[in-house]
Structure 1
Amino acid sequence: MDETDAAAGQISAEAARIYEDFFVPALFGQFAPWLVEAAGIRDGDRVLDVATGTGVVARAAQARAARVSAVDINPGMLAMARKLAPELDIRQARAEALPFADDSFDAVTCQFALMFLADRRQALREMARVCRPGGWITVSVFAPWPRSPGYNDLIPLLEELMGAGAAEALKVPFCLGEDGALAQLLAEAGLEGAHLGHRTGEIRHPSLDAWLETEIGGWTLAEAMTPARMTALKRAAPERLGKYRHGDGSVSFECPALFAVTRA
């Protein structure tokens, strides 16, 4: 796996484990109930979570007594999702070619994954196809990286230590946060009139080292980070990233995001 895989969101089985054990409680877990709430998911609704990863949103929808299906292209992520929720309908599939009939769901969700898809417009068209007329399609993306605390310091540091390819790979999750980018993409896919809203979470890690190990080991750069690079990164972290560290050594910073809710 190289930085091209990283930019497409592909990760290994070990990275998927780290993602679920550390990244979900540090970040993604808090956003999942917000996304499900924004989607208006209720008891008995048929819900599809697209690019589900380890299934954090699928499980949040399940907690609302919804009937949940989920898809992802990444085998490592799917193995963890099935382990955590074996009762759910979890399938390996591309977002651009969903294996479901038209009008199969009352709601479709996609959390922090649209930016990684090979054909974003086609994926959105597929979400609309499988969602019943009048159903809700709800997606979330991160704010631009220069306006995202933590990452606006980490990304330049990665570029210095690992090169432009690594930095660009870490910028990918933030690429749809620019003003108007998500609304334009939805409109180009035929989804007009989306309601856009901002939510700000908080990223929390027990230490600087834990942040770096989770950020790299549990995300898209896992296979590109050598032990020597990680040592260099940790050595530089106190000076470059120390402003996010508290007196007890823990690390936290805001995570701004954009939610879009639109009718199919």
Structure 2
Amino acid sequence: MSLQQEEAAAGQITADAARVYEAFFVPALFGQFAPWLVEAAGIRGGGRVLDVATGTGVVARAALKRGASVTAVDLNDGMLSVARELAPQVHFEQAPAETLPFEDQAFDAVTCQFALMFFADRVQALREMARVCHPGGHVAVSVFAPWEDSPGYCDLIPMLADIMGPEAAEALKAPFCLGGAGALESLLAAAGLDTATLSPKTGQIRHASLDGWLETEIGGWTLAGAATPRIMADLKAAAAERLGKYCNADGTVSFEAPAIFAVATV
């Protein structure tokens, strides 16, 4: 596996890719889930919130809108550089989820949106989230359903395998790896959060066009450095036949994004 593919599997992206992520992925997908997760975590005005693996800070910003005092961490410099520009009111730190640099019970709620799958030690990360959460507070995490059950991706990933190779396809599968039956439950139980309530949540992915979908998916995520202009041209050429069913009459693209929310009271 190349360095770029290793970074992709670990969720690492450049600052340029982070800007594409914020400009296109957030409105296309992640932005709608952020207020839902904040609501699920019971975040209210005056509360102290920690957002773990904040990315470009979409959940942190949603918590700010609820009047919370927000701290956020991420391991990725590229993401944090964009997050700090967009929300200077948030206290951002570079830190791994497995060793959060905060005292016990420092926060009233802890959130983690679509990032648990990228942690080196997922159980330890969940334990850390529980450790820094005040008794009676909530730890709220979200993961995607399996890629095979996710419209759009169930067709995009095989196309990517054919054109970019199996390693690239595996990298794009990474965000979906905790959606299978029992996967998230077992992690929560191992972390002492076995009383968590799990519930399905379905969003909508929207892109301006097939080309826009591919440019966002590749350029705004972990494969940005691996997709040459020739590869992008080949992907776009294949998209009409293999992904055309997701196109609307006006040329826009939309499909459902099934996810799972887990909320535990500490």
Q: TM-score range by the shorter chain?
A: over 0.9
Q: Counterpart of 1:168 in 2: which secondary structure?
A: helix
CA distance in 1, matches of 2:180, 2:225: 28
- For 1:103-122, what aligned pairs fall within 5 Å after superposition? 103-122=105-124
TM-score after normalising by structure 2: 0.98
Partners of 1:145 and 1:87 lie apart in 2 by 36
- Answering whether residue 246 of structure 2 is matched by residue 262 of structure 1, we say no
Q: Which residue of 1 aligns with 2:70?
A: 68
Q: Which residue of 1 aligns with 2:135?
A: 133
CA distance in 1, matches of 2:166, 2:252: 29
Choose from 31, 34, 37 the match for 1:35. 37
User: 1:199-240 CA deviation, whole Å, 9 max, x = no partner?
Assistant: 100000000000000000001111111111100000000000
User: C-alpha displacement at 1:87, in angstroms?
Assistant: 1.6
- Indicate yes or no: 2:214 matched with 1:212: yes
1:143 aligns with one of 142, 145, 154 = 145
Deviation at 1:5, TM superposition (A): 0.5
Partner of 1:93: 95
* CA distance, structure 1, for counterparts of residue 262 and residue 114 of structure 2: 11
Residue from 95, 101, 104 that aligns with 1:102? 104
1:179 maps to which residue?
181
How many residue pairs end up in the alignment? 264
Q: Deviations over 1:93-137 (max 9, x none)?
A: 111111110000000000000001111111111101100112100
Partner Cα separation in structure 1 for residue 133 and residue 143 of structure 2: 20
Match of 1:229 in 2: 231
Aligned partner letter, 1:213: E
Q: 5+ unaligned residues in a row in structure 1: which ranges?
A: none
Q: Which residue is 1:21 aligned to?
A: 23
Q: 1:53 aligns with which of 55, 71, 84?
A: 55
1:56 is matched by which residue type in structure 2? Answer: V
Shift of 1:263: 1.4
Task: Tell me, in whole angstroms, the C-alpha distance in 1 between the residues paired with 2:161 and 2:32.
Answer: 29
% identity of equivalent residues: 70
Aligned Cα RMSD in Å? 0.6
Write the distance in 2 (CA, Å) between the matches of 1:126 and 1:195. Answer: 19
What is the alpha-carbon distance in structure 2 between the residues aligned to residue 212 and residue 164 of structure 1? 17
Query: Which segments of structure 1 move beyond 4 Å, counting only runs of 4 or more?
Result: none
Report Cα offsets for 1:41-85 as digits up to 9, x if no partner: 011010000000000000000000001000000001000000001
Letter in 2 for 1:94: P
Could you tell me how far apart the structure 1 residues matched to 2:135 and 2:5 are?
39
Structure 2 residue identity aligned to 1:246:
N
Instruction: Give the partner amino acid of 1:40.
Output: G
CA separation in 2, counterparts of 1:26 and 1:189? 32
Segments of structure 2 that go 5 or more residues without pairing to the other structure are none
Counterpart residue number, 2:161? 159
The one-letter code of the counterpart of 2:35 is P
